[in-house]
Amino acid sequence: MAYPWILTVTWPVDMDNGDYPLIKPGPYWKKFKANFCEFTAVLIQQCQYSILYDSYLMDTVISLLTGLADSRVRAFRHTSTLAAVKLLTALVRVNLNLDVSKCNAQRLYQVEKNRISVKRTNHRLDQLERKRKEYEQKPLEIENMMNAIFKGTFLQRYRDVIPEIRAICIEEIGSWMKMYPDTFLNDSYLKYIGWMLYDKQPEVRLKCLLGLQGIYNRKELVSKMDLFTSRFKDRIVSMTLDKDHEVAVQAMKLLMLMSQNCEDVLSSEDCEILFQFVYTTHRPLAVAAGEFLYKRLLSYQGTEEEVPPKRRGKFGANTCYMRKLVTFFLESELHKHITYLVDSLWDWAGSLLKDWECMTTLLLEAAEEEALSDAQESALIEIILVTVREAAEGHPPVGRGAARKILSAKEKKIQLEDCTKITEHFIVVLPQLLAKYSADAEKVANLLQIPQYYDLDVYSTGRLEKHLDALLKVVKGIVAEHSDMDVLEACSRMYYVLCNEEAAIHRRADLARTQLIDELVDKLNELLDDSWHEGEGLCTDEEGICRIYSTLRRIAAFHNAHNLTKWNLYGKTSKLLVFEMEHGSLSVQMILPALQCTYFALLWQLASVVERSSSKETLLALNRELRFFCQICACYLSHKDKDLSEKAFTILCDLLMILSHQSSGDNEAVGALQYLPSTSLQSKMLLFIQDHVFTEEKEEIKDLTEEEEREKEGYKLNDLHRRRSLLAVYCKLIVFTVVEMSAAAEIYKHYMKTYNDFGDIIKETLSRTRHNNKIQSAKTLILCLQQLFQKHTETHGSTNSMDSSFTNIKELARRFSLTFGWDQVKSRESVAMIHKEGIEFAFHGAAGVEGKCLPPNLSFLLIISEFSNKLLKPDKRLVYGYLQRYITEPASCRGDEWHPLVWYRNSLLANEDEENSVISSLREWSPTSRSKTSYFKRKLSNGSLPETSHTETTNKTPDFLCTPDLTAAVGKSRKRLKSQDTSLQECLPFFCPVGLSRRCREDVIKAEDFSADNIGEDVDVVGADQVCDGVYQPCTWLTGADQSLESTPPHPCYTGSRWRGQIKGGSAGQSGLLEEEEGRVLQAAAEELLTHPAVGTMDSGCAADD
């Protein structure tokens, strides 16, 4: 046997070097790997007739590969393992060819032997006998070679430390089982795939699943998998929750093959778990689960005769399948997520989901014995709406895709055909459905959304105007019957779609809308004229108030999307608001819609002024009305009714956002409408946020039933959504500089305490404000910490730095520092400003410049020390020099009371052994020499930072704190902000002595070079402790190919799956999925909540789904 002499010739120093051809990226090396594998196959193919059996070539090659596979050098081990397993694959093909040749030789031998003795030739018979024995001998030799490779290479390398090598071994053994099941498809070999299902690397687990798919896809092989299926079925089911999405998808596909080809392999409990994956946010997994659901529940595997006779008819089996789908949806108890269910089934049950004729027939023409229940009807109507939306838009729902996909020409053609089909069918059917369910608000609200997906030209081309008249008549009756806001907004939206000026039916729809508004306004005028008395207000009974309230709600719903200015509603509704503000005797039910109507009236007037020129008198009148309405909203902030005050706050914030950004660039007159809130109004709004967002109601501890507990949780969730909306609408004012940025300091105080509820909104606010103005944002952060510190000193004293409140402030500072990220150059000005303001605050109130008296705020240095690791080394020396200005006699600063100063000093001058440095400094502090301090002062007096050594400099000259354009970012958008020179003058004392601030403007400043390798800060990833990477499952090691099948891996490898929170809702055992999904939805909504609002758009609320 040849010794692997190459090991004695080449022995690299780095045995784990990853630079070798098999793992190099790029198409060239990918092709090299494919050619290398092909070479081994061609080598065996060319040698399969003679050289393969000479007992030299193969013995030498196998010996060489086995020796290299045991090498400690990764490149040798990886390459030789790949060559060895590919060699075994080629030998399997040779063995298969030998089996075919052996069968042919055996058949020819029997034919020749059965001939009559006259025609039989002994020579031919002997020749066939020798060939038959030769074909019987060659497979034995091939088997020996295969065993040598398997035992010498596979058994050692399938558990290799390198995941690529393990994946190669598992991939090839799966192909051996499919190619040569007589030898390899048994429990002795299957156990290796079963064990590696627990591998901690997703790549290896994926290869296991793909190999098993090839086996379970062939029914003739499934009979040999009984023991394996019973041992590892539970593991495969659990892998649908794998943290790697691709592994979860392939596990779902494998289970689908198992359910098709294995009888009763999956229990009903297993199927229920797998069905719930149709609600997951990861679309490939949801589609795989949808295929499993469709083939398991929504399709018959047999013929049409298997469909129950009662279900046959015009629509065949679709009626039965639709009932099953509705039943499944209701039993899953996830009524808010029907969109995800339909999207999961769309690729597999498209013909069923597009059979709208079948669905509407079930609603309109079902026999009494087969009639749907009320819950089933609601579910089916919701399915109709979702399928119509999916067909018309052609995009997955929100949360199932990063962006809208670009449709191909074929997909666009299908989309247009579906829109035409939808229009032609529902133009006729929708009025009938609305008439039947006109009393049910939920059903009507869903049905009224269908017309927005119409092709309106079909009305005129198909001469179907009579159906339009029927639709408008039914909708008019619905408006008169319902006062539910969802129904009214759906009606308003439908009129908005039908009144599109580009549509041929515009005039007919506009006439119907005008008649409807006329009736509503006339009714309101009549009610107000009958019940309103000057000086006394409304004098009517409860029924009259209810009628006024309902009429105002209907008008407000239409005023949101339609311009009702010509009806002059502003005067009527503002009169109600003023009377309530002065006397406070009106019903809150009436004031809420009146407030909305007034707001919409002003917005439509503002929009008309912006679009076309108006007279000066009109602008002045509108300006007075806008400011007066702002005063009304500000007055209502302190109203005793919570709903009214919060609605007034939301409207006020939106209106301030709009008015503060009225640009006068195109129209000078419009600029006169610009309005910024006064200081007193800002204080009121901030106080409102503190009272309504960060103040929680005390809960009464009492025993609740399960139903009451659910209601309580629902109330908490709605209350959280309400408070998040209030905070977001106020933070928008901060981000867009409508209110002073310093107001954010009050918000930042609650960052730690309310992180789970509002952390995403606060972090987004911090990020946006820092992007707008780095310096002012830094001042806001330090102001927040200063206010918290002052509150702490008032309660616990200035010297108590061990109290929990001080620890919380210090932790808050640490979290603030983490928000600056890795780029120290980018955050240089902000961090420097924090240290400057912090030092000044710490020594504020000290007796004399000498600092002989202990400053009252000295402990604040411990807080700002959390930002020291964000400073560049040259800046640390500058900060230290600035600190020295407040301590002219360091020798007098001794004792435990000066511990904060010592700690802060060490955070600036030492990064290593910080704790030991502090302890040693407490004993004896050797101050920096006078010469060094003078050196810094000389450099700063020249208006530049000190020069650094060659290794500490870079060729790049970054913007620094005294750069004018960095301090005036907000001054362009806010007249109130300080001027550029003022901000510059405030920043410069940190770098220059007093009186030399003006010299620093034009100097070129060099910064220290630093690399990512030297940065050791943590990243602010809150909630990382809540992520579970799976449960480790240590297992014992078993060797040998002949051992019994075990359900656990033979070595300490770990499961890589975890509960990822993909399912929205489900049974109690899946509650973790829903909680994490809801948390993800709330977190993802923060940035959306901080976007600029659109003017005159409908208030569609915040969707609960992603």
Band (pLDDT 50/70/90 cuts) for residue 300 is low
Which of the pair, 39 or 300, is modelled with greater confidence? Answer: 39
Q: Are 189 and 1041 in contact (CB under 8 A)?
A: yes
* Per-residue model confidence (pLDDT) at position 984: 31
DSSP label of 1057: B
**Rg value, the chain, Cα:** 39
CA atoms within 13 A of residue 1042's CA, in its CB half-sphere: 1
For residue 809, pLDDT beyond 70:
yes
Is residue 942 over pLDDT 50? no
Give pairs for 573-580: CB < 8 Å, separation 24+.
Answer: 573/597, 573/598, 573/601, 574/598, 574/625, 574/628, 574/629, 574/632, 577/632, 578/632, 579/537
529: confidence class by pLDDT, cuts 50, 70, 90 = confident
CA distance 450 to 456: 12
pLDDT for res 188:
93
- Give the residue from 901, 887, 894 showing the smallest Cα distance to 924: 894
Q: For 82-123, write each residue's pLDDT tens digit.
A: 999 999 999 999 988 888 888 887 777 777 777 755 555 677
Is pLDDT at 812 greater than 90 in this prediction? yes
Q: What is the dihedral of CA 1061, 1062, 1068, 1072, to 10 degrees?
A: 10
DSSP helix/strand/coil, 1095: coil
The residues that bridge with 538 in the sheet, in sequence order, are 532
pLDDT at 1023: 35
User: Which candidate, 875, 801, 893, places its Cα nearest to that of 833?
Assistant: 875
Kindly tell me the burial class for residue 692, based on how many C-beta atoms sit within 10 Å of its own C-beta (0-12, 13-18, 19 or more): middle
Q: In the prediction, which pLDDT does 120 show?
A: 57
CA-closest candidate to residue 560, choices 1094, 1103, 1104, 1088:
1094
pLDDT in tens, 743-793: 999 999 999 999 999 999 999 999 999 999 999 999 999 999 999 999 988
- Per residue in 949-975, pLDDT (tens digit) is 333 333 333 333 333 332 333 333 333
What is the mean pLDDT of the segment spanning 1066-1079?
Answer: 40
Helix (H) or strand (E) holding 537: strand 537-538
What is the per-residue pLDDT for 704? Answer: 74
Give DSSP secondary structure letters for 585-652. -S-HHHHHHHHHHHHHHHHHHHHHHHHS---HHHHHHHHHHHHHHHHHHHHHTT-S-HHHHHHHHHHH
On the question of pLDDT at 319 being above 80, the answer is yes
354-377 pLDDT, tens digit each? 999 999 999 988 666 678 899 999
Give the residue among 465, 535, 1082 at the shortest CA–CA distance from 755: 1082
- β strands within 1031-1089, DSSP E: none
Helix, strand, coil percent values for the chain (each to nearest 5): 65, 0, 30
Q: Which amino acid is at 443?
A: K
Interstrand relation of 537-538 and 532-533 (parallel, antiparallel or unpaired): antiparallel
Closest CA to 150 of 97, 59, 71, 84: 84
pLDDT for the residue numbered 954:
36
| Ramachandran assignment for 995, one of left (phi > 0), alpha (psi -120 to 50 degrees), beta (any other) | left
Enter the tokens of residue 6. Answer: 């190459």
**pLDDT top residue among 636 and 462:** 636
Q: Band the pLDDT of 1038: cuts 50, 70, 90.
A: very low
DSSP letter for 972, please: T
Q: How many CB atoms lie within 10 A of CB 119?
A: 7
Q: When comparing pLDDT for 934 and 355, which is higher?
A: 355
> Is 356 or 936 the better-scoring residue by pLDDT?
356
Least confident range from 298-302, 880-884, 887-891, 904-908: namely 298-302
Placement of tokens 């509820």 in the chain: 757
Sequence-ordered alpha helix ranges (H) in 847-913: 860-864, 873-884, 899-909
Residue bearing the bigger pLDDT, 518 or 609 = 518
- pLDDT value at position 174? 94
Cβ distance 828 to 882 under 8 Å?
A: no
Which of 505-514, 564-573, 843-852 is the least confident region? Answer: 843-852
- CB 760, CB 1086: distance < 8 Å: yes
Say yes or no to pLDDT of 915 above 60.
Answer: no
Position 1029 scores a pLDDT of 36
- CB atoms under 10 Å from CB of 564, counted, come to 20
Distance CA 155, CA 66 (A): 11
Q: Tens digits of per-residue pLDDT, 59-76?
A: 999 999 999 999 989 999
Mean pLDDT is lowest, of 54-58, 724-728, 810-814, 1089-1093, for: 1089-1093
Residues 6+ positions from 255 with CB-CB distance below 8 Å? 236, 237, 240, 266, 270, 274, 292
- Check whether 257 has a pLDDT greater than 70: yes
Q: What angle do CA 457, 458, 464 make, to 5 degrees?
A: 120
For the segment 638-647, what is each residue's pLDDT rounded down to a tens digit? 999 999 999 9
Q: What is the mean pLDDT of residues 579-593?
A: 87
Rounded to whole angstroms, the Cα distance separating 670 from 663 reads 7
